[in-house]
Amino acid sequence: MIKDKHDKLAQYRKDGVVKDGERFIIAIYGRGIPAAAWGDDIPYAAQAVFPIGPYTVTIDMESQEVVDQGYSHRPVIEKKSGSSVPTTSFLESEFSDVSAIVSGNPDPIEMSNPPLILIHNPKAENPMLMGWLKRGIEYWVEGNKLRHRNLS
């Protein structure tokens, strides 16, 4: 889905819809993603562009102590069809013309205020300004960490 929308950018540039130097945001509507309204600690949209997988805990079976824990490295998502979708778009220069992704994951209980999530592309040629999104949650990479903040 992200690659398809990114591929359309070349046509938008050719047609003059998006000019050189302009920011380009890919919008993703999370309604079709199972459990997207409830999500995960890290939004699915972020997991689609960064190789972040599920949180895992490794337990020593003999001592029953936790020996390791953290988010797993997941460079691809395996689809039911058997094909693989890369999760490294925002780490590749090929996607540097994408400024950010904005994702809406509607909560079926609280539809009056559906959350918006903005994920900044750390490789963007024309990055979005921090705080551009006035409501929702903003994610960005700082060093090697994914950071976030809630916006009013």
Q: Which domain holds residue 132?
A: 2-151
The whole-angstrom separation of Cα 21 and Cα 36 is: 32
User: Residue-wise pLDDT tens for the chain (152 aa)?
Assistant: 788 888 899 899 999 999 989 999 999 886 666 555 455 688 888 999 999 988 899 999 999 999 999 999 999 999 889 999 999 999 999 999 999 999 886 655 655 555 789 999 999 999 999 999 988 899 999 998 999 999 87
Paired tokens of 135: 């409501």
Residue in this structure with the two tokens 């994951």, named with its chain if needed: 105
Number of domains in the chain: 1
The whole-angstrom separation of Cα 23 and Cα 78 is: 30
CA distances from 123 to 10, 52, 78, 120, 134 (A): 18, 17, 25, 9, 22
What is the predicted pLDDT for the residue at 35? Answer: 55
The whole-angstrom separation of Cα 135 and Cα 104 is: 12
> Are 72 and 56 spatial neighbours (Cβ–Cβ below 8 Å)?
yes
What is the predicted pLDDT for the residue at 2? Answer: 84
Instruction: State residue 27 phi and psi, 5-degree precision.
Output: -100, 135
Beta bridge partners of 31: none
Number of other residues whose CB lies within 10 A of the CB of residue 43: 23
